[in-house]
């Protein structure tokens, strides 16, 4: 047994045996060690320090940017150039100016990606609902912190959060920001890490504050009473599904749908879309509508324009005369991003570990974290007051007998002995003695003495109150509740996304009546299809084909029929004859590879009219095998146009035959042998890609070249080619049995 390599051993150097005459060292390293030493640190770095937000609602890049702006005194101050902010932020975030500025743009009021923006911007910051509306360079724009950021930095200098060294150890930065409300649920946040991701939708600030207060007072409170549903800065209408929303609130995973808001101008016959889903852009919507229009799926639209201006977003859709706007919008909701889904993944870092949590669990975690921040703030204030109280107690002893203190100081010969003599004379410590010794002579008056001594009792009461607060979870929660109420009063805004509890989810059925007229179809070997009416065919029946092309298959059918087209890539294309324009015999027709959107180099092999899909197809392969597949295997409920894996790819297809009732067929090989078999001897296979069963045995250099029904094949001596069992090699064709050998594939 090989000796197991210990984890942590240095890689072993060995000479490369493939390199001769040159010195080449190769590092032997197991793949497990490579992943552990190289990949895992990278993955953890992306998860913890880049992509996943923490309980304060910020990613590290957000936090570094906002803290830099706070240090630049941009909270309540004048705006400064964005380039200046970007440069200062690089002291904490060395990922390049472009990445930092992109972060600032997405936090800005001008961009509009947040319900409550953090950055008060001036200049062109682009728009979240536009893909092509680019923001101006950082040298042209200005910014400062929005007033709501005051709730992120309140008491940050009172040890409410831990501080860490920056990347080079020259500055300190906060590990978290002491937010006074659950910002993690208010701000939409998306991040893709390694092996995991996070996608948090935003909620209305006022509703989040109410829900947090209700949760603190009653852990079993119904969140839906206060936190109705997500809210987005782009508005729109949220299709409220109670079961799905409960799943999101409970597990942190799930999805919901948001659709646009629109109005109909009857006078101009125009639909105006003025709010769109948060997860899409106006350009994506227009591209999809144009695509559908080209495909003929949305024929009711005459024109579509982007009329967005300074007043806000607006997409104008010109309708054709007689169009029902309600039915059109229902169709667009189904097939365009005018109705889009938002997939929730509430993945948040808690103490450095990613966790997917429901809304209630997130509020509990934030409350626990915020409780500790308030306790740390109270402890900081208490220690400061205790220090002040300690000094005043020493001062009180001195001021009660100030003459004695003056005498001690006057009789002390050395300056260094003043404090020790005061300590001995009044029984105070060094800190108190130093404080007393620094008192100005002018402050030794009655008013000053009474005011200072009066502070002692007040400070003592305040210290006692802070101690009680620190040790009272109930009082700490009341402080959090009062701060939440204050935040709601100052910054709450009305809900932007409307909730739809009753909505239509079904697209209207197409009411276009397809005429049921008899038509004749002609398919050439080159893949050209003609649909000709009987009247046109009677006027001119001589078919025209390209040079080198010839007739292949023909049908008499209805304009409502479907057509299945099989190709040499083992794919089946499904189309309706009504999609083809009627033509004349003198025309070439529609080139199917282009009409059906086939892949480059893909060619038509065979086609059939499936009817009611009750028949079967015989796939005859060059290796002598035949597969019987029911047509129902190609019947689909949806409007799929292409089916992959339509037949086996193990051997070339020599022929395909449509079997509506069991009958005899003949296979002919390149050696000149023939085999007659009955389709009843072949059991149907449910799998389209089945290889079939062997019917004709072949020598290595021969293959099947033709397959056709026995009736009309021209074979006279039929019994010569029949066999009691299959497979057989077949008998050599006699001259009188050869018939029309040029036909290789039949319908």
Q: DSSP assignment of 334-358, as one string?
A: HHSTTEEEEEEE-EEEETTEEEE--
Q: DSSP assignment of 376-402, as one string?
A: HHHHHHHHHHHHHHHHHHHHHHHHTTH
| Helix 473-491 and helix 205-217, axial crossing angle in degrees, nearest 10 | 160
Paired with 658 in beta bridges are: 617
Going 713 to 717 to 721 to 723, the CA torsion angle's sign is positive
Whether residue 60 contacts residue 95, with contact meaning beta carbons closer than 8 Å, is answered with no
54, two tokens: 């923490």
Instruction: Compute the radius of gyration of the chain from its Cα atoms.
Output: 41
608, two tokens: 């059939």
The number of angstroms, rounded, from the C-alpha of 365 to the middle of its chain's C-alpha atoms is 25
Whether residue 53 contacts residue 67, with contact meaning beta carbons closer than 8 Å, is answered with no
CA dihedral of residues 136, 289, 333, 576 (deg, nearest 10): -160
Provide the 3-class DSSP secondary structure of residue 83. helix
Catalytic residue among 39, 42, 49, 140: 140
HSE-up (13 A, CA, CB side) for residue 521: 28
Residues 6+ apart with CB under 8 A from 233: 112, 113, 114, 115, 128, 188, 202, 278, 496
Whether residue 682 contacts residue 693, with contact meaning beta carbons closer than 8 Å, is answered with yes
How far apart CA 346 and CA 202 sit, in angstroms, is 11
Whether residue 111 contacts residue 126, with contact meaning beta carbons closer than 8 Å, is answered with yes
The number of angstroms, rounded, from the C-alpha of 180 to the middle of its chain's C-alpha atoms is 29
How far apart CA 191 and CA 61 sit, in angstroms, is 12
Residue 142 phi, psi (nearest 5): -130, 160
| Residue that the structure tokens 């900081």 belong to | 380
**First-residue to last-residue Cα distance in the chain:** 65
Residues 6+ apart with CB under 8 A from 241: 256
How far apart CA 201 and CA 256 sit, in angstroms, is 11
Closest CA to 350 of 331, 381, 372: 372
SS (H, E, C) 277-297: CCCCCHHHHHHHHHHHHHCCC
Per DSSP, the chain holds a count of helices (H) and strands (E) of: 20, 35
Residues 6+ apart with CB under 8 A from 721: 666, 674, 675, 676, 715, 730, 731, 737
Closest CA to 98 of 155, 138, 52: 138
For 44, 544, 559, the CA distances from 518, given in Å and listed in that order, are 68, 21, 6
Element (H, E) at 500: strand 498-500
How far apart CA 179 and CA 185 sit, in angstroms, is 12
How far apart CA 115 and CA 205 sit, in angstroms, is 8
**Does residue 274 have an active-site annotation?**
no
Residues designated as active site: 140
């Amino acid at each position: 047994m090989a000796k197991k390599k210990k984890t942590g051993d240095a890689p072993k150097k060995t000479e490369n045996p493939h390199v001769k005459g040159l010195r080449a060292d190769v590092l032997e390293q197991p793949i497990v060690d490579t992943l552990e030493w190289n990949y895992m640190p990278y993955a953890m770095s992306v998860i913890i320090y880049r992509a996943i937000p923490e309980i304060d609602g910020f990613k590290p890049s957000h936090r570094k940017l906002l803290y830099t702006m706070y240090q630049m005194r941009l909270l309540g101050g004048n705006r400064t150039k964005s380039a200046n902010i970007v440069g200062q932020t690089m002291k904490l975030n060395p990922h390049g100016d472009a990445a930092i500025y992109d972060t600032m743009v997405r936090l800005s009021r001008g961009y509009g990606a947040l319900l409550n923006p953090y950055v008060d911007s001036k200049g062109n910051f682009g728009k979240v609902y536009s893909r092509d509306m680019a923001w101006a360079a950082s040298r042209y724009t200005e910014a400062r912190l929005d007033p709501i950021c005051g709730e992120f930095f309140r008491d940050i200098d009172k040890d409410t959060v831990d501080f860490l060294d920056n990347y080079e150890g020259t500055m300190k930065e906060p590990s978290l920001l002491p937010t006074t409300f659950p910002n993690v649920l208010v701000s939409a946040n998306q991040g893709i890490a390694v092996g995991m991701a996070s996608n948090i939708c935003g909620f209305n600030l006022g509703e989040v504050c109410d829900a947090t207060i209700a949760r603190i007072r009653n852990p079993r409170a119904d969140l839906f009473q206060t936190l109705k549903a997500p809210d987005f800065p782009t508005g729109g209408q949220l299709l409220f599904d109670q079961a799905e929303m409960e799943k999101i609130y409970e597990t942190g995973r799930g999805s919901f749908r948001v659709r646009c808001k629109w109005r109909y101008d009857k006078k101009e016959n125009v639909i105006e879309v003025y709010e769109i889903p948060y997860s899409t852009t106006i350009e994506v919507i227009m591209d999809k509508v144009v695509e559908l229009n080209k495909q003929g799926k949305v024929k009711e639209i005459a024109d579509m324009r982007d009329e967005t201006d300074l007043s806000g977003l607006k997409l104008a859709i010109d309708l054709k005369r007689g169009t029902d706007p309600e039915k059109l919008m229902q169709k667009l909701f189904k097939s365009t991003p005018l109705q889009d889904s938002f997939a929730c993944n509430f993945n948040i870092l808690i103490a450095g570990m990613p966790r997917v949590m429901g809304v209630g669990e997130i509020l509990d975690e934030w409350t626990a974290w915020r409780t500790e921040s308030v306790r740390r703030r109270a402890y900081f204030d208490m220690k400061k007051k205790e220090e002040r109280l300690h000094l005043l107690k020493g001062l009180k002893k001195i001021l009660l007998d100030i003459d004695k203190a003056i005498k001690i100081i006057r009789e002390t010969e050395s300056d260094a002995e003043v404090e020790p003599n005061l300590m001995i004379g009044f029984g105070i410590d060094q800190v108190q003695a130093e404080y007393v010794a620094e008192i100005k002579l002018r402050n030794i008056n009655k008013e000053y003495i009474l005011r200072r001594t009066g502070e002692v009792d007040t400070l003592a009461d305040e210290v006692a109150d802070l101690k009680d607060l620190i040790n009272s979870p109930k009082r700490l929660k009341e402080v959090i509740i009062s701060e939440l109420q204050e935040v709601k009063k100052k910054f709450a805004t009305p809900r932007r996304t409307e909730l739809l509890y009753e909505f239509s989810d079904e697209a209207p059925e197409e009411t276009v009546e397809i005429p049921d007229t008899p038509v004749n179809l002609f398919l050439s070997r080159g893949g050209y299809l003609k649909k000709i009416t009987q009247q046109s065919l009677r006027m001119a029946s001589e078919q025209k084909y390209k040079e080198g092309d010839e007739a292949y298959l023909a049908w008499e059918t209805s304009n409502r029929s479907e057509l299945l087209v099989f190709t040499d890539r083992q794919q089946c294309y499904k189309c309706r004859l009504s999609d083809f324009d009627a033509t004349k015999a003198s025309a070439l027709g529609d080139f199917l590879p282009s009409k059906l959107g086939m892949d480059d180099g893909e060619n038509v092999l065979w086609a059939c009219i499936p009817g009611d899909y009750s028949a079967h197809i015989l796939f005859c392969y060059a290796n002598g095998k035949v597969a019987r597949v029911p047509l129902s295997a190609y019947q689909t409920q949806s409007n799929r146009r292409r089916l992959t894996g339509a037949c086996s790819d193990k051997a070339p297809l020599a022929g395909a035959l449509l079997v509506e009732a069991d009958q005899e067929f003949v296979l002919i090989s390149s050696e000149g042998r023939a085999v007659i078999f009955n389709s009843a001897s072949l059991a149907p296979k449910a799998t389209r890609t089945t290889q079939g069963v062997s019917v004709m045995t072949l020598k290595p250099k021969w293959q099947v070249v033709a397959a056709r029904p026995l009736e009309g094949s021209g074979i006279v001596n039929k019994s010569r080619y029949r066999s009691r069992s299959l497979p057989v090699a077949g008998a050599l064709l006699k001259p009188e049995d050869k018939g029309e050998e040029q036909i290789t594939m039949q319908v």
